[in-house]
Amino acid sequence: MHTLSQLKSGELSGIQRLSLSENLTSFPMEILSLADSLEILDLTNNNLSSLPEELLQLQKLKILFVSDNDFEELPEVLGQCLNLEMIGFKSNKIKHVPENALPPKLRWLILTDNQIAKMPDSLGERPRLQKLALAGNRLTELPQTLAKSTNLELVRISANQLTECPDQLLGLPKLAWFAFSGNPFSYSDIVIKSAPEIPSNSYELLEELGRGASGVISKARWNQQQTEHHNLFQNDIAVKVFKGEVTSDGYPKDELNACLKVGNHPNLVKSLAQVNEIGLNGKGCLALIMSLIPPHFDNLGQPPNFETCTRDTFPDDFFLSIAQIQKIVGQMEDVFHHLHSSQVCHGDLYAHNALFDEEANIIVGDFGAATMYHMLNEKQQAQIKQIEHRALNYFIEDLLSVCREEDKTSETYKNLERKIIG
């Protein structure tokens, strides 16, 4: 994080990335002094509500983050920024997105958690668009022009007011990661009892293990006072306590229901019990009690970066043998078939959402983008499965990218390549 005083003093001259968070109410014009170098500008967590026309002077600007501010309209000046590729305006108060507010080279648009009721037709006129995050708005429909978004790979439209499944998305040739729960068209009133409900005082949270968009996972232990369910479960447990608000993937309750609908599988994090103590005022505790993953499991991949946009990344020194890849792929294929036999789309089938050990055993988690789709018609269900199968192919392709060089001539490697193509 940088400071305004550093910027004004000239100390930051020549930098490519600038981050300012100082309760700003107006755009610091001193930023324009960085026009010859600035590529990434992060003004998250301020009190901004407008951007000046002078933003156009930042001709090298590629990425702009202005989340957690006070914008009510996406600034039209963005549409004139010829090199701008990524825009993040999450958690503002945006109600209106003008037709000409989207830059021509747009690849990645994040408008999660706003108040948008309609997106402009120009959204489908941005041929480089790969990632689109619109969860947590008030959308009742999507532009039909999105049918032309042939490079679109990841879409988040959960927690909106969409009354019909957006068929213009389902046939897109590259779409692979799709989350759409929490809309009227995907509403389900089924009650899932695959894991018993227990009170939140049944366990004690210990050290934090990780956190994501929808909640915090902690190691936990059962309280000394026995519960009626305690003797059914193992001692090594983890608890995911869900946040109450909408996330980049949708509502926490939808994540919990999708996870419970899938049930247990050897390569999925095992669900043991649920806590559902949400009252009429929305307060309370929503949590999932799970088996604790053994400590010898490590992350299989790392999330995409600005450059890869939708594809996983790996450390430079990370390689797998073709035997390991084949075993991992076989397990992930089994997970895929298990999910879709329950009519659940994971929505985030990635290496970075899987853990593995030295014997190439994997455990898949993170159901934040998962969606039940049993309410859709037969054709739509087949298309949803096809979309996620594309994610499976990308997963295989990403693993082959870290295959040891000496294994790339093997028949197994060639077979996996054919599987992607086929």
Please report, in range form, the residues annotated as the binding site: 240
What's the angle, vertex CA 330, arms to CA 419 and CA 309, rounded to 5? 65
Element (H, E) at 221: strand 215-222
Nearest to 267 by CA among 211, 329, 318: 329
- Measured distance CA(210)–CA(203) in Å, rounded: 18
- Measured distance CA(111)–CA(123) in Å, rounded: 12
> Which residues define the annotated binding site for ATP?
240
Nearest to 74 by CA among 47, 56, 99: 99
User: For 317, what's the count of Cα atoms within 13 Å in the CB-facing half-sphere?
Assistant: 0
Residue 246 makes CB contacts below 8 A (sequence gap 6+) with 112, 113, 135, 136, 158, 159, 182
Residue 356 makes CB contacts below 8 A (sequence gap 6+) with 297, 298, 300, 328, 362, 363
Nearest to 417 by CA among 263, 398, 406, 77: 398
